[in-house]
Amino acid sequence: MRNLRTYGKNINLIIGGFILMMFFIMMVVSFFYTPYDVNSMDIANKLKPPSADHLLGTDEFGRDIFSRIMQGTQTAFFVGAVSVSIGMVFGTLIGGVAGYFGGWIDEIIMRVIDALMAFPGIILALMLVAVFGTGMINTSIALGLMAIPGIARIARSGFLQSKELEYVQAAKLMGLSQMKIMFKHILPNVASPLIVAASIAFAVAMLAEAGLSYLGLGVQPPDPSWGRMLKDSQSYLVSAPWYTYAPGAVITLMVLGLYMVSNAIRDIHDPR
Amino acid sequence: MAYFIRKLVLLLVTLVLVSLITFAVFQIIPGDPIRIMLGPEADEARIETLEKQLGLDKPLHEQYGKWISGVVTGDLGDSIRFSRPVSELIADRLPVTLSLALMSVAIVIIVSIPLGIYIARRHNTLGDVIFSSLTQVGMAVPSFWLGMLLMLYLGMTFSFFSISGYIPWSESITGALGSLLLPAITIAIPQIAISFRYIRNTIIEQLQLDYVRTIRSKGIGERFVIYKHVLRNAMIPILTVFGLIFAEVVAGTIIVEQVFGLPGFGSLLITSISYRDFPLVQGIVMYITIVVVVINFLIDILYAILDPRIRLG
Amino acid sequence: MRNFFKIFITFSTLLALVIVVSACSDKEENSASKGSDEDNGVNIRINNDPDFLDPHMAQASITFQMILNIFDGLLVGDTDGSLQPALAEDYTISEDGLTYTFTLRDGVTFHNGDPLTVEDVQYSFERLMGVETGEALSSNFENVASLDAPDENTFIITLKEPNSAFLSYLTALHSAIIPKNNDGKHNEKPIGTGPFQFSNYSPENNMVLVKNENYWKEGLPYLDTVTFTFQPDDQTALLSLQAGEMDIVAVGSHRVPEVEKDFNIEYQDSNSVLLVGYNQLKEPFNDIRVRQAINYAVNKDDVIEAAFSGYATKLGSNMSPAAGEVHKEGLEDAYARDVEKAKQLLAEAGYKDGFSTTLSISSHAALYTNVAQVVVENLKEVGIDVEIEVVEWGVWLEKIYQGRDYDMTIIDFTGELSPYETIERYQSDASGNLFNFSNEEFDGLMKDVLTESNVDRQIEIYHRAQEILSEDAAAVYMADYQIIWALNPKLEGYKLYPYFFHDLSEVKWKK
């Protein structure tokens, strides 16, 4: 029994890690090589089914879907990395302060976070996009801000638990600065739930980007974005179904990889 | 009692904050509702007159003040886009979104609880591994794409499903069911994945606890163990996750309603934001927040009833 | 435990059963019951809600597409764009072009049963001019000196200055005649004299009109009810058409093969102008050579093929052939695609290595992003590096249209009945001149045409005006795209107009 369980854990990590690694390699390659120029149009050959020339067929401008999927990894990693970074930095900071200091600071911060969490995420995203505008960078910022409350909550509970630990109390008695205690002594302790939260935030950002793109906001052309491709393919669902499968499959696959890795990390760091 | 009052006050604070956030957003974003409605060919004289008539020439903080004083007296104001009372528009949409949300939650409960218990009993078998991976896929699919595919493969094949908009319950019950089932499934699938995993893990945890071993060693039937003790103890964490799931379902309706062309809150909200319809956005956001917050509030209370330690702590 | 599983199994079986049973039931039968020919009504898909129901407040063409069935004006625009009498049986214009005398039609009643009187006509114009409130609803009538009703059947409008475009303001598009006794309720419960009367409006759902039994055109309309269903999603609309739930649906050009077998297809020139505009107060667009280079660089055929699958008419100036003889022919190839020439012009203007700029478009229609991507690729070939900036419609209107704070943009203007209205925005001081275009000759021509009473001379002036827009490269005029209507094949009598109007007065079901 025990063996199968560890095996199961490893399988998540192996498969998830493998998927993410493949996408990462694809992204690196796409910087140097794509079969076709991602934006060059060949309108005479639009919406052609997969063939030897075009592995995944062509889109409504006759652009090579495979090349655009490849380059789309850049957008995916960019949006994910930027939004997760924003969410992690501010979320940890805000949650850390709330958890560590407690009292009225905690109360105020938590009320605002509650209010933000009560907003369905997509409404918040819609409003943030209205404020910041569309496009790759603005979308990443909006999605990053969206991730802050969730991460802040996790950080807060981590800091709240850790500050009672003996060695933290000892550090306090030694007269170390608050900053030093927070970031040098407590943070490493809270790292594993935060890493899990980060990889989930990455996955959520990818799905939210697709959702925003579906509503016509989000990443804008000509930057190839999987979410955008998915939206554009909707009009050709019946006449050119291959157009929708490719971006849909890669989004699902990459989000799946992220979830698998985050589950594996959680299981390993928090064995029951 | 003090516990409930404190919770109630916090609920009100949350609502005020939500409305302030919405106000702040509208203070920042550019765009003029009348211009958006009338389009680029609009007559400048007409724009000016209409703005004066609708009170849109006043600064937003005045409009917000007027809105707040209306809310206190129970008047949510009129929508700019539709020239109708906001409360009327919300009441019109309520049946659609509510049916959709309840159906989704029902599907989640019906599927995930039995499945979670079933798999928990067999955990670490091949079936467990397969199901657990499958649920991860369910979480990873973009919901609107799932909706598109369901529409394409089920909706267009089976005439039971109506894929061209909403049929009211009053008109035809099977029709309403047919128009809501596919979107409800679309919303439910990722949530099934989440709650299934959660239930499975909670039950596994419970089954490993000492008390279960004690009861088992007394020779009491397995079924009895699950029903009477494990489920009761697992109820608290499961309830919490359903609070979260309800919020997610409400959020999920927004995009999925777009995919299936259902006239619920989702489309109304998206229109109202893009048309800068301040009273309507405030009204809907308030409404959705209230629903989510109240559900969480009720769950908190249930929680406190199930586990009296919380009230004391 | 097993019980839980039992419940689960039972539920799934039931669900499966429901699906199977319903799948077996005949699809035809299902759709027939939903179709509307049995109750003698039609269901028409409209993309979006009306802006206002009050015809004096509404401005969106999508609104008039529907409400022109409710209201009449003194005149009406016919299928060929000419103006025909409607509520005015007849009219005369004085020699000096200042006095317009209308004879009202007899026996016209409003939907509420009240007869149309000259007071109602006077009320309608006074309301538009804001005589009582001091706040005009329309600037078209600023030129009116006085309104008079000498007797029950005569209505006289006197102008301050002659205006050859004035007649075109007298259709229901600009001045619907509405009853005085409905004052204050025109937006909630609109009343008119048209073939159908307003029944119900349910936001983001539908608007229902019912037959006007006392319509002044004998024997019309044929239909009992008209339902306009608001469905923003093309995919859903098409499915509804195929399911028989809707009867008239505009379909995307790339969907034509899916519907052409089973439905009647009508191609309507929308009389719109899709263009790439640039801010001519800004460098480098203040240089005519740069503007011409951009015109040579853009491949209109590519745009038409990519965005409209070929279902569009190439343009050369701000006028569509749908406008009739006022359209100046032969301009569409004035800037036939020529990359070398474009590069040469850019070099002459001092941009040998091209330049970088931003193309700002609205997110509310996929059309703009589609066209923008083609234009960007085209311009890249001549060395112009364009970044696409997509903004919300509200932001576009405020920042680009009104604020004129942009480099380049893409927009389509819907056609007006009057050619004057169509190109009026290019005058230096026009409020809609988002291009900051300025040409003295053009301004002069637009002044002259208003005082010109001879129709042939007017056409000459409009032709010259279109030439100027082309010569000066005021914008890249790309296409008038066709709206493709798929109609239930059992419907007949549907007419196409050079403006947005679903005329349902003569539509009927074939026996």
CA distance C316 to C300: 10
CA distance B312 to C16: 48
DSSP strands (E only) in B89-165: none
Which superfamily does CATH assign the domain made up of C75-182 to?
Answer: Dipeptide-binding Protein; Domain 1 (3.90.76.10)
Does C101 or A265 have the greater pLDDT score?
Answer: C101
Which residue carries 């990894």 as its tokens?
Answer: A73
pLDDT band at C38 (very low <50, low <70, confident <90, very high): low
> In this predicted structure, what is the pLDDT of residue A87?
93
Which residue carries 């879907």 as its tokens?
Answer: A65
> In this predicted structure, what is the pLDDT of residue C442?
92
User: Which residues of chain C does B42 touch, with a Cβ-Cβ cutoff of 8 Å?
Assistant: 59
- List Cβ neighbours of B106 (8 Å cut-off, separation of 6 or more): none
Closest CA–CA distance from residue A191 to any residue of chain C (Å): 38
The reply to whether C460 touches chain A by the CB within 8 Å rule is no
Q: How many domains does chain A have?
A: 1
List pLDDT tens digits, range C462-508.
Answer: 999 999 999 999 999 999 988 899 998 888 888 888 888 889 989 88
Q: Do B124 and A207 touch (CB under 8 A)?
A: no
> In this predicted structure, what is the pLDDT of residue C293?
92
Q: Which two tokens stand for residue B95?
A: 């049946």
List pLDDT tens digits, range C297-318.
Answer: 999 998 998 888 889 999 989 9
Closest CA–CA distance from residue A81 to any residue of chain B (Å): 18
> In this predicted structure, what is the pLDDT of residue C326?
87
Closest CA–CA distance from residue A111 to any residue of chain B (Å): 6
CA distance C264 to B42: 34
List pLDDT tens digits, range C282-299.
Answer: 888 999 999 999 999 999
Q: Do A221 and C388 touch (CB under 8 A)?
A: yes
Q: Which two tokens stand for residue C15?
A: 């669900």
What are the start-end ranges of the H helices in B122-155? 126-140, 143-150
Q: Do B142 and A215 touch (CB under 8 A)?
A: no
DSSP 8-state symbol, C109: B
CA distance A45 to A58: 7
User: Which residues of chain B does C24 touch, with a Cβ-Cβ cutoff of 8 Å?
Assistant: none
Report the pLDDT averaged over residues C133-137. 84
What are the start-end ranges of the H helices in chain A? 2-32, 65-101, 103-118, 121-132, 136-162, 166-173, 178-180, 187-214, 226-233, 242-269
List pLDDT tens digits, range C227-244.
Answer: 998 888 887 788 888 888
Q: Do C369 and A217 touch (CB under 8 A)?
A: no
For every residue of C399-462, which 3-state class applies, written as one string?
HHHHCCCCCEEEEEECCCCCHHHHHHHHCCCCCCCCCCCCCHHHHHHHHHHHHCCCHHHHHHHH
CB under 8 A, 24+ apart: contacts of C30-35: C30/B159, C31/C243, C31/C244, C31/C245, C32/C244, C34/C243, C34/C244, C34/C245, C35/C244, C35/C245, C35/C247, C35/C488
pLDDT band at A264 (very low <50, low <70, confident <90, very high): confident
Tell me what the pLDDT averaged over chain B comes to: 81
User: Which residues of chain A does C372 touch, with a Cβ-Cβ cutoff of 8 Å?
Assistant: 221
Which residue carries 């919405």 as its tokens?
Answer: B22
pLDDT band at B164 (very low <50, low <70, confident <90, very high): low
User: Which residues of chain A does B137 touch, with a Cβ-Cβ cutoff of 8 Å?
Assistant: 252, 256
Classify C341 as helix, strand or coil.
helix
> In this predicted structure, what is the pLDDT of residue B223?
67
- List Cβ neighbours of B201 (8 Å cut-off, separation of 6 or more): B120
List pLDDT tens digits, range A212-262.
Answer: 888 777 787 777 889 888 888 888 887 888 888 999 999 999 999 998 888
CB C247 within 8 A of CB C44: yes
Q: Do C389 and A135 touch (CB under 8 A)?
A: yes
Report the CATH number at residue A140. 1.10.3720.10
Express as a percent the part of chain C with pLDDT over 70. 93
CA distance C409 to B57: 28
Q: Do B292 and A244 touch (CB under 8 A)?
A: no
Q: Do A260 and B293 touch (CB under 8 A)?
A: no
CB A110 within 8 A of CB A119: no
What burial class does residue A250 get, using C-beta atoms within 10 Å of its C-beta: 0-12 exposed, 13-18 middle, 19+ buried?
A: buried
CA distance C178 to C433: 32
Say whether pLDDT at A48 is over 90: no
Residue C99 one-letter amino acid? T
Report the pLDDT averaged over residues A61-77. 90
List pLDDT tens digits, range C330-361.
Answer: 888 889 889 998 999 989 988 988 899 999 99
Q: Do C188 and B110 touch (CB under 8 A)?
A: no
CB B164 within 8 A of CB B81: no
The reply to whether B285 touches chain C by the CB within 8 Å rule is no
Q: Do A217 and C306 touch (CB under 8 A)?
A: no
Helix (H) or strand (E) holding C83: strand C83-85
The alpha carbon of C263 is separated from its chain's Cα centroid by a whole number of angstroms, namely 24
> In this predicted structure, what is the pLDDT of residue A254?
92
pLDDT band at B98 (very low <50, low <70, confident <90, very high): confident
- List Cβ neighbours of C440 (8 Å cut-off, separation of 6 or more): none
CB C345 within 8 A of CB C289: yes
Domain boundaries, chain C: 14-67+211-263+488-509, 75-182, 273-482
CB C364 within 8 A of CB A216: yes
Q: Do B43 and C18 touch (CB under 8 A)?
A: no
What burial class does residue C439 get, using C-beta atoms within 10 Å of its C-beta: 0-12 exposed, 13-18 middle, 19+ buried?
A: middle
Q: C156 pairs with which residues across the strands?
A: C101, C148
CB B188 within 8 A of CB B108: yes
Say whether pLDDT at B221 is over 80: no
DSSP strands (E only) in C194-272: 196-202, 206-211, 225-230, 248-251, 264-269
Which structural domain, as residue segments, surrounds residue A211? 2-269
Q: Which two tokens stand for residue A32?
A: 């140097």
> In this predicted structure, what is the pLDDT of residue B285?
86
CB B80 within 8 A of CB B57: no
Q: C485 pairs with which residues across the strands?
A: C250, C266
For chain B, the chains sharing at least 3 beta-carbon pairs closer than 8 angstroms are A, C
Looking at chain C from residue 213 to 272, which residues have their Cβ under 8 Å from any Cβ of chain A? Answer: 234-235, 252, 254-255, 257-258
CB B3 within 8 A of CB B281: no
Which residue carries 């609107």 as its tokens?
Answer: B144
> In this predicted structure, what is the pLDDT of residue B67?
84
The reply to whether C381 touches chain B by the CB within 8 Å rule is no
The reply to whether A148 touches chain B by the CB within 8 Å rule is no
Strands C385-391 and C356-362: parallel
Cis peptide before B263 (omega within 30 of 0): no
List pLDDT tens digits, range C246-280.
Answer: 899 988 888 888 888 889 998 888 888 999 999 99
List pLDDT tens digits, range A149-173.
Answer: 889 988 888 888 887 777 778 877 7
pLDDT band at A86 (very low <50, low <70, confident <90, very high): very high
From A212-221, B133-142, C34-43, the region with the lowest mean pLDDT: C34-43
Does C362 or B130 have the greater pLDDT score?
Answer: C362
Say whether pLDDT at B117 is over 90: no
Chain C nearest-CA residue for A231: C366
Report the pLDDT averaged over residues C36-59. 85
Say whether pLDDT at C5 is over 80: no
Tell me what the pLDDT averaged over chain C comes to: 86
- List Cβ neighbours of A46 (8 Å cut-off, separation of 6 or more): A58, A59, A60, A61, A62, C306
Q: Do C23 and B275 touch (CB under 8 A)?
A: no
Q: Which two tokens stand for residue A85?
A: 């970074």
Looking at chain B from residue 23 to 42, which residues have their Cβ under 8 Å from any Cβ of chain C? Answer: 29-33, 35-42
Residue C209 one-letter amino acid? L
> In this predicted structure, what is the pLDDT of residue C30?
37
pLDDT band at C28 (very low <50, low <70, confident <90, very high): very low
Domain C14-67+211-263+488-509 belongs to what topology?
Answer: D-Maltodextrin-Binding Protein; domain 2 (3.40.190)
- List Cβ neighbours of C142 (8 Å cut-off, separation of 6 or more): B45, C129, C136
Does C400 or B229 have the greater pLDDT score?
Answer: C400
User: Which residues of chain C does A234 touch, with a Cβ-Cβ cutoff of 8 Å?
Assistant: 235
Say whether pLDDT at C96 is over 50: yes
What burial class does residue A257 get, using C-beta atoms within 10 Å of its C-beta: 0-12 exposed, 13-18 middle, 19+ buried?
A: buried
> In this predicted structure, what is the pLDDT of residue A2?
46
Helix (H) or strand (E) holding C75: strand C75-77
> In this predicted structure, what is the pLDDT of residue C409?
94
**What separation in angstroms does the CA of C447 have from each of C47, C102, C162?**
38, 26, 11
Nearest to A235 among C252, C372, C376 (CB): C252
Nearest to A252 among B22, B141, B288 (CB): B141
Classify A54 as helix, strand or coil.
coil
Report the pLDDT averaged over residues B245-249. 82
Say whether pLDDT at A184 is over 90: no
Nearest to C302 among A43, A134, A239 (CB): A43
Q: Which two tokens stand for residue B184?
A: 């409800």
List pLDDT tens digits, range B23-45.
Answer: 888 888 888 888 888 888 788 88
Q: Do C240 and B165 touch (CB under 8 A)?
A: yes
Check the CA dihedral B83-B84-B85-B89 and report its sign.
Answer: negative
Q: Residues in chain A, how many? A: 272
CB B296 within 8 A of CB B241: no
Domains of chain B and CATH, by start: 93-312 (1.10.3720.10)
Nearest to C374 among A61, A133, A235 (CB): A61
* ipTM confidence: 0.80
Chain C nearest-CA residue for B49: C135
Nearest to B142 among A119, A230, A238 (CB): A230
List pLDDT tens digits, range B181-195.
Answer: 889 999 999 888 888
Closest CA to C42 of C422, C499, C497, C485: C485
Say whether pLDDT at B276 is over 80: yes
Cis peptide before A222 (omega within 30 of 0): yes
CATH class, C273-482 region: alpha beta
Nearest to B30 among C204, C243, C399 (CB): C399
Q: Do B163 and C57 touch (CB under 8 A)?
A: no
